[in-house]
Amino acid sequence: MNPFVIHNGLVAPLDRVNVDTDAIIPKQFLKRIERSGFGQFLFYEWRFAVDGSTIDSFILNTPEYKDSTILLARNNFGCGSSREHAPWALMDYGFRVVIAPSFADIFYNNCFKNGILPITLSEEQVDELFNRAQGKKDYHLTVDLQEQVVRDSEGLSYPFEVDSYRRYCLLNGLDDIGITLQYEDKIAAYEANRR
């Protein structure tokens, strides 16, 4: 997992509430066992018509937002089933940050385990970000995990909270396996003594 310290990225405002994991990555694409390759199916039923043609009105299909790496969303993002494929699809598409007033718990936890930073801000702060992102097609934010702040180039600055353990893991690029491997020598010594 790549460390996350400071990220500057283009913001895609997805102005929908209760975006569930089946909308993020529909069930028919869950047959793969590797973590890569899911980005092409992200928000599939919103991005593509039944005949496979592109739905031009969907935000990620517009040229202005195709390189977005920060997703701005509304309440209860990631609700529904607990599929870990949802953050896999977001990450594979290119998103490193999701900002919303609230997240479903399992989705929120899965983001951290897969290198995505989910940031919870107040509804008023998210409204202001939507106003700025929808009013300017090339709206960028800088997310500083070390300082725990979101900034734009126009003076906006919002602090955010992150659990210290999750923050440590993201700053150091550690998933559950990476954390375990930090103790590889002790594990090997234990196994050798056990024999």
| Residue at 75 is within a domain | yes
Q: What is the pLDDT of residue 179?
A: 82
| Residue at 126 is within a domain | yes
Percent of the chain with pLDDT over 90: 81
Q: What is the pLDDT of residue 57?
A: 93
Question: Mean pLDDT across the stretch 53-70?
Answer: 94
Q: Is the pLDDT of residue 195 over 80?
A: no
| Residue at 1 is within a domain | no
Count the neighbouring beta carbons within 10 Å of the beta carbon of residue 18: 13
- Strands 6-13, 140-144: pairing kind: antiparallel
| Alpha-carbon gap, residue 48 to 54, rounded angstroms | 5
Count structural domains, the chain: 1
Q: What is the pLDDT of residue 191?
A: 84
| Residue at 182 is within a domain | yes
| Residue at 163 is within a domain | yes
Residues with Cβ within 8 Å of 145's Cβ and at least 6 positions away in sequence, in order, are 4, 5, 6, 7, 117, 162, 167, 170, 171
| Residue at 95 is within a domain | yes
Which strands form 70-72's sheet, in the order they lie side by side?
Answer: 117-120, 97-100, 70-72, 6-13, 140-144, 149-151, 157-159
| Alpha-carbon gap, residue 187 to 111, rounded angstroms | 28
| Alpha-carbon gap, residue 180 to 182, rounded angstroms | 5
**Predicted structure pTM score:** 0.93
> What CATH number is given to the structural domain containing 75?
3.20.19.10
Question: Which of helix, strand or coil describes residue 149?
Answer: strand
pLDDT digits (tens, 9 = 90+) for 105-164: 999 999 999 999 999 999 999 999 999 999 888 999 999 999 999 999 999 999 999 999
Q: What is the pLDDT of residue 16?
A: 96
Q: What is the pLDDT of residue 185?
A: 87
Q: Residue 67 carries which DSSP code?
A: T
pLDDT digits (tens, 9 = 90+) for 16-43: 999 999 999 999 998 877 888 999 999 9
Count the neighbouring beta carbons within 10 Å of the beta carbon of residue 71: 29
| Alpha-carbon gap, residue 99 to 18, rounded angstroms | 14
In whole angstroms, what separates CA 48 from the centre of its chain? 21
| Residue at 22 is within a domain | yes
**Structural domain containing residue 74:** 6-194
Percent of the chain with pLDDT over 70: 100
| Alpha-carbon gap, residue 102 to 87, rounded angstroms | 16
| Alpha-carbon gap, residue 182 to 169, rounded angstroms | 12
Question: Which of helix, strand or coil describes residue 45?
Answer: helix
Please report, to the nearest 10 degrees, the dihedral formed by the alpha carbons of residues 139, 145, 147, 153 taken in order.
-10
